[in-house]
Chains A and B, each alone.
Chain A
Amino acid sequence: MLELITNNEILAAIVALLGLAAAFGALLGFAAERFKVEGDPVVEKIDALLPQTQCGQCGYPGCRPYAEAISQGDEINKCPPGGDTTIAALADLLGREPKPLDGEAQDIPKVAYIHEDECIGCTKCIQACPVDAILGAARHMHTVIESECTGCDLCVDPCPVDCIDMLPRQRTPDEWYWPLPDGPGHRPTSVTPTLIATDRVSAIGQGAGHG
């Protein structure tokens, strides 16, 4: 048998190729099982780009369902909290054309505020909150945990006494940062002094800077 193969070149080639095919097939099969990717990685990536407000303004019950819908071919412009930046990022990821936002853009981040003296303690807003950011019990006053609130608006409609308002989120001094300057032709709005007059005075010969 071995002699027959070594003597017949065609047969040797066929056997060698079959052997290789079997070996690599087994290897690939093993790798497919061993390194199996759970779920759809594209959905994960899309989900990571969405703002996770879970507001449902896209028509899906949360950001992940919308991510799944996008990966199935739905439009990428249905997320008002994300706005144009999210659309641009999604277009970049999926290689699609960016489209104008479908709906009204949310200009400033907001948080829900419950007028506590008006609250009747019906727990309807607690059930509506997608991120468990409302604290309270039946027939007791409810309140919003500000740091957890995503500003999704979902608690406003269920409230029977209309005691929830969406207010702009307060910025702490830690979150503050310098605005971008206006550009050439404007006086810098910055209050940082970067020019010392004595330097200019010395340049025109009225005496040098002090030591």
Chain B
Amino acid sequence: MAKAFDFPGGIHPPQRKALSTRTPLIQAALPTHVVLPMDQHIGNPAEPCVEIGQRVRTGERVALAQGMISADVHASITGTVTAIEEHPIPHPSQGKRLCVVIERDPNGDDDWCRMPPLDWRHADEDTLLERLRHSGVVGLGGAGFPTQIKARVRELHAIDTLLVNAAECEPYITADDLTLRTYPDDVIEGAQLFARLCGAERILIGIEDNKPEAVEALNESLRRHAEDSVPIELKIIATRYPSGGEKQLIKRLLNREVPSHGLPADVGVLCHNPGTLRAAVRAVRDGEPLISRVVTLTGEALARPGNVEARLGTSMHELLNAAGLKEDELARLVMGGPMMGFALDTTALPLAKTTNCLIAATEHELPAPPKEQPCIRCAACEQVCPASLLPQQLYWFAKAREHDKAELFNLFDCIECGACSYVCPSHIPLVQYYQAAKGEIRERRREAHKAEHARHRFEFRQARLAHEAAEKEAKRQARAQAASRVAARTAQPSRQEPRGEDAATAKEQVKQLRIAQAAAKAALRKAEKALARASEAGEGELDDLEVQVATARENLQATEARLAAAQKDEQQGEPRQ
């Protein structure tokens, strides 16, 4: 065993993994219909690119990624698109989202639409990134971060180590374990692929010591891949929750600390889940987009718990029934692990890219949480916090809605692992307090951003109206002058005296307008510079800056129109003096 460092805190909840590791990984039966949500990932939801009634083949793209952080969605069966509508999705809000529904062909064929296979060892990088972008691969550990963005980390950071996060520390979940046992070669090939893309010099596989079979399979595969370009090291660590947290695993294996608000890339590490690596290598080597995933079906309300590889969008109801769901014993259905997952109201939900585990728990297994009691300030939570935070302080601040103080105590470094709630003798749902506080802070930021945006729009409108009014005024003056010239020609000039004063004020006005014009020009230049800087850095709110530039331009045009009118006025006045 390689040397392991340590992260603070942590707990040892009962593992309950043996339930689902007794049987090998099986392929789930092809579903008769699938429901594909448009947001199965972090970032913008994808936009459907198929029509109702259109026939699609397995692997065909049905939705396009929108914007920078987003992922494509592909048809997971061969059939006909029957609906594009709002459908309940597995989300803690129990909300609905736009989904593409595909009905399988009655003859039951699974007709693949593959992309051409690529040899990742020799293909150039842009081709590989393009392939990852078109295959809809996202992080399969549970967060669902689009993988191609992680693969482009090299543009901003220097990476020396690729970390394969196979710790899988949460009780019940065994999807990564079974993936490693069944497809160790694919995972290792995927790791080599990512090491090439991010320029890592070594690959570390971090795995907990409760998965001896997976370790054995990996060792065997490593012997076969001994001649590979990037050296791979397998590090086995003692089981402790939450050693599978990205930051915790990096601390434990490399003794590097990811800075607050930072990314693993800031300390030269890129972290990937084994399932993601396998999906990536399948996308590149076999040309198969992400249309299935390994999911753990477990819990005592199932007669045949185990791991299945199922098509995305398959109804959870079908999957659970195939695993022998005893509906009368089912007390709670949980998606994800018992520490960080959330309960689902219904089984009529589709399997999403982020669904790594479904726990059909009996009342005895996962009882309803007891009543919350007052905090007795025992500081047990502080002892187990893996992020070295002060959970008790954060609890008071969250409860009192003192968000500034909570942020000062690094609320956003909380990984929501649930260790504090687990040990709390008063059964305080601490993590929910933090989640609520984080949500409120984010909401406030969103509102502030929206207000800022509205302000820019309002200012732009004001400037535009001023510009229009100035132009109208200039036209009116021009017409009036033309009329007065005609009048002057017919009648002899009789009102020369008052013009002198007029000319003086006109001159003064022109001078002032010149100053205003110079100021408006300077403002426009400043806004344009800010926009250029932001677009070069590729960050910030470009549309707001664009509106600012447009506002400055309108202002400049308005002053120019006014200036031109005033100058004409002056010229008209002068010869008469």
Q: Which 10 pairs across A and B sit closest by C-beta, in order of nearness?
A: A209-B14, A177-B439, A191-B343, A176-B93, A52-B451, A178-B435, A131-B457, A188-B429, A180-B436, A194-B421
Instruction: Give the chain B neighbours of A41 by CB distance below 8 A.
Output: none
* Given contact pairs A51-B451, A131-B457, A202-B14, A173 touches B432 in the complex (Cβ within 8 A): no
Query: What's the Cα separation between A180 and B462 when bound, in Å?
Result: 41
Whose C-beta in chain B lies nearest to the C-beta of A85? B444
Q: Is the CB–CB distance between A173 and B95 below 8 Å?
A: yes
Q: Is the CB–CB distance between B452 and A52 below 8 Å?
A: yes
Q: Is the CB–CB distance between B366 and A209 below 8 Å?
A: no
Q: Is the CB–CB distance between B372 and A180 below 8 Å?
A: no
Q: Nearest Cβ distance between residue B71 and chain A, in whole angstroms?
A: 15
* Given contact pairs A173-B91, A177-B438, A178-B436, A132 touches B14 in the complex (Cβ within 8 A): no
Q: Nearest Cβ distance between residue A92 and chain B, in whole angstroms?
A: 11
Q: Nearest Cβ distance between residue A53 and chain B, in whole angstroms?
A: 7
Query: What's the Cα separation between A47 and B452 when bound, in Å?
Result: 10
Q: Would you call B454 an interface residue if the criterion is a C-beta within 8 Å of the partner chain's C-beta atoms?
A: yes
**Contact for B341 among A53, A188, A192, CB less than 8 A:** A192
Query: What's the Cα separation between A62 and B462 when bound, in Å?
Result: 10
* Given contact pairs A130-B461, A173-B39, A178-B92, A186 touches B371 in the complex (Cβ within 8 A): yes
Q: Would you call B229 an interface residue if the criterion is a C-beta within 8 Å of the partner chain's C-beta atoms?
A: no
Query: What's the Cα separation between A12 and B397 when bound, in Å?
Result: 63
* Given contact pairs A185-B372, A187-B369, A199 touches B13 in the complex (Cβ within 8 A): yes
Give per-residue flags for B81-118: 1 if the beta carbon is below 8 A from chain A beta carbons, else 0. 00000000101110101000000000000000000000
Q: Would you call A143 an interface residue if the criterion is a C-beta within 8 Å of the partner chain's C-beta atoms?
A: no
Q: Is the CB–CB distance between B16 and A198 below 8 Å?
A: yes
Q: Would you call A119 an interface residue if the criterion is a C-beta within 8 Å of the partner chain's C-beta atoms?
A: no
Instruction: Give the chain A neighbours of B502 by CB distance below 8 A.
Output: none
Query: What's the Cα separation between A84 and B372 when bound, in Å?
Result: 30
Q: Nearest Cβ distance between residue B476 and chain A, in whole angstroms?
A: 20
Q: Nearest Cβ distance between residue A86 and chain B, in whole angstroms?
A: 10
Q: Would you call A179 an interface residue if the criterion is a C-beta within 8 Å of the partner chain's C-beta atoms?
A: yes
Most buried by A among B95, B332, B374: B95
- CB pairs A–B below 8 angstroms (30 shown): A51-B447, A54-B454, A62-B462, A130-B458, A131-B457, A131-B458, A150-B454, A174-B39, A176-B91, A176-B95, A180-B398, A181-B372, A181-B433, A181-B436, A184-B373, A185-B371, A188-B427, A191-B342, A192-B342, A193-B341, A195-B367, A195-B370, A197-B364, A198-B14, A198-B16, A208-B14, A209-B13, A210-B15, A210-B18, A211-B18
Query: What's the Cα separation between A123 and B450 when bound, in Å?
Result: 25
Give per-residue flags for B441-452: 1 if the beta carbon is below 8 A from chain A beta carbons, else 0. 011001100111
Q: Would you call B286 an interface residue if the criterion is a C-beta within 8 Å of the partner chain's C-beta atoms?
A: no
Instruction: Give the chain A neighbours of B366 by CB distance below 8 A.
Output: 193, 195-197
Q: Is the CB–CB distance between A194 and B418 below 8 Å?
A: yes
Q: Would you call B334 an interface residue if the criterion is a C-beta within 8 Å of the partner chain's C-beta atoms?
A: yes
Instruction: Give the chain B neighbours of A164 by CB distance below 8 A.
Output: none
Q: Would you call A106 an interface residue if the criterion is a C-beta within 8 Å of the partner chain's C-beta atoms?
A: no
Q: Would you call A6 an interface residue if the criterion is a C-beta within 8 Å of the partner chain's C-beta atoms?
A: no
Query: What's the Cα separation between A57 and B280 when bound, in Å?
Result: 55
Whose C-beta in chain B lies nearest to the C-beta of A47? B455
Q: Is the CB–CB distance between A190 and B432 below 8 Å?
A: yes
**Contact for B429 among A50, A53, A185, A190, CB less than 8 A:** A190
Interface residues of B in 299-353 (CB under 8 A from A): 332, 334, 338-343
Most buried by A among B339, B375, B435: B435
Query: What's the Cα separation between A54 and B427 when bound, in Å?
Result: 46
* Given contact pairs A177-B443, A179-B436, A191-B343, A210 touches B19 in the complex (Cβ within 8 A): yes
Query: What's the Cα separation between A185 and B370 when bound, in Å?
Result: 10
Q: Would you call A148 an interface residue if the criterion is a C-beta within 8 Å of the partner chain's C-beta atoms?
A: yes
Instruction: Give the chain B neighbours of A200 by CB distance below 8 A.
Output: 367
Instruction: Give the chain A neighbours of B365 by CB distance below 8 A.
Output: 196-198
Q: Is the CB–CB distance between B171 and A194 below 8 Å?
A: no
Interface residues of A in 140-185 (CB under 8 A from B): 148, 150, 172-185
Q: Would you call B35 an interface residue if the criterion is a C-beta within 8 Å of the partner chain's C-beta atoms?
A: no
Q: Is the CB–CB distance between A132 and B455 below 8 Å?
A: no
Q: Nearest Cβ distance between residue A1 and chain B, in whole angstroms?
A: 46
Instruction: Give the chain A neighbours of B194 by CB distance below 8 A.
Output: none
Q: Would you call A63 an interface residue if the criterion is a C-beta within 8 Å of the partner chain's C-beta atoms?
A: yes
Q: Is the CB–CB distance between B457 and A193 below 8 Å?
A: no
Q: Is the CB–CB distance between A180 and B433 below 8 Å?
A: yes
Instruction: Give the chain A neighbours of B89 by CB distance below 8 A.
Output: 173
Query: What's the Cα separation between A174 and B370 when bound, in Å?
Result: 29
Interface residues of B in 453-512 (CB under 8 A from A): 453-455, 457-458, 460-462
Query: What's the Cα separation between A114 and B401 when bound, in Å?
Result: 37
Q: Nearest Cβ distance between residue B407 and chain A, in whole angstroms?
A: 16
Q: Would you call B431 an interface residue if the criterion is a C-beta within 8 Å of the partner chain's C-beta atoms?
A: yes
Q: Is the CB–CB distance between B431 and A192 below 8 Å?
A: yes
Query: What's the Cα separation between A150 and B92 when bound, in Å?
Result: 28
